[in-house]
Structure 1
């Protein structure tokens, strides 16, 4: 019997009705996320159709600066987190740090992917940066505009990462935030206005970077306002997890990125 199914009379008794309990019977996503962060898990659950579950292991991020991110990535806790998470029956392991995976360029992100594969044998893996490039390719993006909450040093590395992967950044803006919890406190209205301010007609897509920066809730509104695809690091990570695991498990309303899979369900 499916969760939430109607009660069926069986003689003098009624069959029990079970409620949806969040079980990942379609698929399970394992997420490595920053200990002080809150956005990515919530947004993944918001985008997930019933039957897709998210399971997290956390690592410590000292500060959202180049030095703080490097300290996190060089700590032994990263490998430990991946191995612990891989011990669960997950379908895909996602490293949920955009700046942490693009910090030293594309080759560094590829190296991180290789390490995750070694630490989580038998699991499909991705990073927020790998997923973001795949999502931009999915919507046939070329030149983009970029919105981030980062300090200048991290923001400039985001521009470099995009441009070395053939996405010229035509316009951009960053908020200069270096405290992780403060990233999550930026309201959706501010993010919406920020993106509208920097958009240009020549840009083929918008990219919103940072997995502790709210984005899922504004994607549809921005696409309607600007008439072009909007890709965020969290949305892209969730989409790519579903893609590589072969799971058709997204709710509607979170951007053109999901259109192909949603159409297959109708």
Structure 2
């Protein structure tokens, strides 16, 4: 697996491998390895996100040299902040660079994967938790709604430092969810951010909330497995990865 991640990312390179290792109890013959290319970004602001996006071609070319089987670009808000539908543009750009460099890997973006994952659950109205400042959360909400997904409520934790986001305690999400109005929601996005850790509590929150729970990380895993034609079962990772 090839990953394009922000330079300050600590979580995607933890949660994705953890998800794939969990598959070994169901598919003991499978093994996944991960190789990353980094784009500079330390603070989650519109200016730094634009600067990071400008490094996409270089990062994709570096990954192409490793000949990965699939590539994920993993910064959801960097894509969604560029306007509705931009994940298609980003995926096409990375695919073009990979092909120029002789790599045939399919490309998944965390932004596009979240939309795909919500639809795969049959959901049309969600509540979301983000670590972003309110301005950026509003862009995420607008992006989802442009894709035909209603957002019934959105909680912003307002943490601009990306390293600080990675250090948020996932256990706190159980309390944050209680601040959301889930009326009318048919799914919950526990972390609409690849940097905010949520995997340790995702299944427990799903059990407590009584509705499907996914995250940017579980949606990206679902997208990668689907692109590779593999079974999408990962034990203990919520309804999206239940194999149902």
TM-score by length of structure 2 reads: 0.90
Q: Distance in 2 between matches of 1:150 and 1:236?
A: 19
Residue 132 of structure 1 pairs with residue 114 of structure 2: yes
Match of 1:244 in 2: 227
Residue 107 of structure 1 pairs with residue 85 of structure 2: yes
* Deviation of the 1:126 alpha carbon: 1.1
Q: Distance in 2 between matches of 1:250 and 1:30?
A: 20
Q: What is the correspondence of 1:179-258 to structure 2 with a 5 Å cutoff? A: 179-207=161-189, 208-248=191-231, 251-258=234-241
Q: Distance in 2 between matches of 1:81 and 1:152?
A: 29
85, 94, 118: which one pairs with 2:72? Answer: 94
Match of 1:145 in 2: 127
Q: Distance in 1 between matches of 2:220 and 2:128?
A: 17
Q: Distance in 2 between matches of 1:156 and 1:129?
A: 15
Match of 1:31 in 2: 3
Match of 1:44 in 2: 16
Unaligned runs of 5+ in 2: 25-30
Give the 3-state SS of the residue equivalent to 1:64 in structure 2: coil
* Deviation of the 1:183 alpha carbon: 0.3
Match of 2:47 in 1: 67
* Deviation of the 1:248 alpha carbon: 3.1
Residue 58 of structure 1 pairs with residue 38 of structure 2: yes
Residue 170 of structure 1 pairs with residue 152 of structure 2: yes
Q: Distance in 1 between matches of 2:81 and 2:6?
A: 16
Give the 3-state SS of the residue equivalent to 2:91 in structure 1: helix
Unaligned runs of 5+ in 1: 1-28
Give the 3-state SS of the residue equivalent to 1:31 in structure 2: strand
Structure 1 stretches of 4+ with a deviation exceeding 6 A read: none
TM-score by length of structure 1 reads: 0.83
Q: Distance in 1 between matches of 2:175 and 2:242?
A: 25
Per-residue CA shift, 1:65-117, capped at 9, x if unaligned? 1111111112xx32111011012131111000100111122332211111011
Q: Distance in 2 between matches of 1:227 and 1:246?
A: 29
* Deviation of the 1:62 alpha carbon: 3.9
More displaced stretch, 46-55 vs 87-96: 46-55
Structure 2 contact 71–105 (Cα < 8 Å) conserved:
yes
